[in-house]
Amino acid sequence: MTSIIALDPGRNDIYQAFDLISSWPEYRQSPLIRATGLARELGLGTVWIKDESKRFGLGGVKALGAPYGLKQQLLKRGITPGSPQCAGYTAVAATDGNHGLAVAWAAQKFGCHARIYVGTEVDQARIARITDNGAEIVRVDGTYDDAVLAAENAAQSPDVLLITDTDYGHELDVTRDIMAGYAVLGIECARQLRAENITPDHVFLQCGVGGMAAGCAIGLWHESGQKPNVCTVEATNAACLQASLATGELTSVPGKLLTRMIGLSCGKPSLPAFEILREVSTHSIAINDDVALLVQNTLSAGINGDAPLETWDTGIAGIAGLWHVAKNHDLRARFGLNAQSNVLVINSEGPIPLPYRANI
């Protein structure tokens, strides 16, 4: 087994990210909700939902990663974020929606330009939110994975900054910086759970390329001092992490990767994320869109007295994975869920704002 010390980003990296991000005027710790009604529905002890639906006003956890990654890229070039020099730089990224929005927001905040590459399945609502934050959109004929390669190819000149949360070959320091930003989520969770005198038995985390899940897990591990018991959740048509965990090495899955959980529509994991998740994941599950839609509608309406959860198609995925496992007798036993289990899940995004929904 790999020691936590050998994993990247390391302890110093994630606490540096925490100190910087928590100093921003926009920073607020996102709430940790005790979902008593959901726990009763699933026959569990407690379910804790870390609610990212309003993070930095963007409504998603990706706002922790991209701004920190872009800021670090500027600082490493000796450029002060927000200075006049930033106008000479363009941040580029591939996205299924939320990462690109966060890059666009961060570029606008720091005075850079932004160019975002999207595959054919990204809906117009997500694209409109990105362009309304000042970014240029480049459509790529293909999947998210094709958009990743297109963004990498576009980032060859010195005035173009690649802000990617996907690294297939351990070559990109920006990817580790973005994961360090996501680790803020795990640090917050660990502190909030400690205040409740709770140690989670299971953590269900949605995975596309795995960056958010890995960052959350490494933050939890460092702050709590205990390795989290992670259950990865993916879409059935894009279960690249499940395939990679099974083979022990990065494995691609073929096809168009179609799923309503658009942020999970990825065909190959990011290598540094995979290396962390390989150490903390005890189980993995792939769920279909019907389960995700059912759980999204159920929690958005409120269940058993719980307040309605402001969530969306990717944000609900980890909770839907928990629901799927807890409702299945065989899976429940295999994953070790019971009436005493304390489970942590992440609502990783809020709803698309009303003005954009006509474009869905």
Q: By C-alpha distance, which of 344, 176, 174 is closest to 275? A: 176
Query: If 0-12 CB within 10 Å is exposed, 13-18 middle and 19+ buried, where does residue 355 land?
Result: exposed
| Tokens 């490494």 sit on residue | 218
Distances from the Cα of 109 to the Cα of 6, 114, 155, 301, angstroms: 34, 11, 21, 35
Q: What is the largest CA-CA distance in the chain?
A: 60
Question: Choosing from 13, 96, 167, 313, which is the catalytic residue?
Answer: 96
What is the C-alpha separation between 281 and 338, in angstroms, rounded?
19
Bridge partners (DSSP) of residue 285 are: 233
- 276-117-92-63 Cα dihedral, nearest 10 degrees: -60
Is residue 62 among the annotated active site residues? Answer: yes
| 257 touches 239 (CB < 8 A) | no
In sequence order, the 6+-apart residues with CB closer than 8 A to the CB of 60 are 52, 53, 98, 101, 102, 315, 348, 349, 350
Bridge partners (DSSP) of residue 162 are: 92
Q: Locate 240 and state its tokens.
A: 């690249």
Question: Choosing from 62, 71, 109, 268, which is the catalytic residue?
Answer: 62
| 30 touches 182 (CB < 8 A) | no
Q: Helices 11-21 and 62-76 sit at what angle, rounded to 10 degrees? A: 100
Bridge partners (DSSP) of residue 344 are: 48, 203
| 237 touches 255 (CB < 8 A) | yes
Is residue 330 among the annotated active site residues? Answer: no
Active site residues: 62, 96
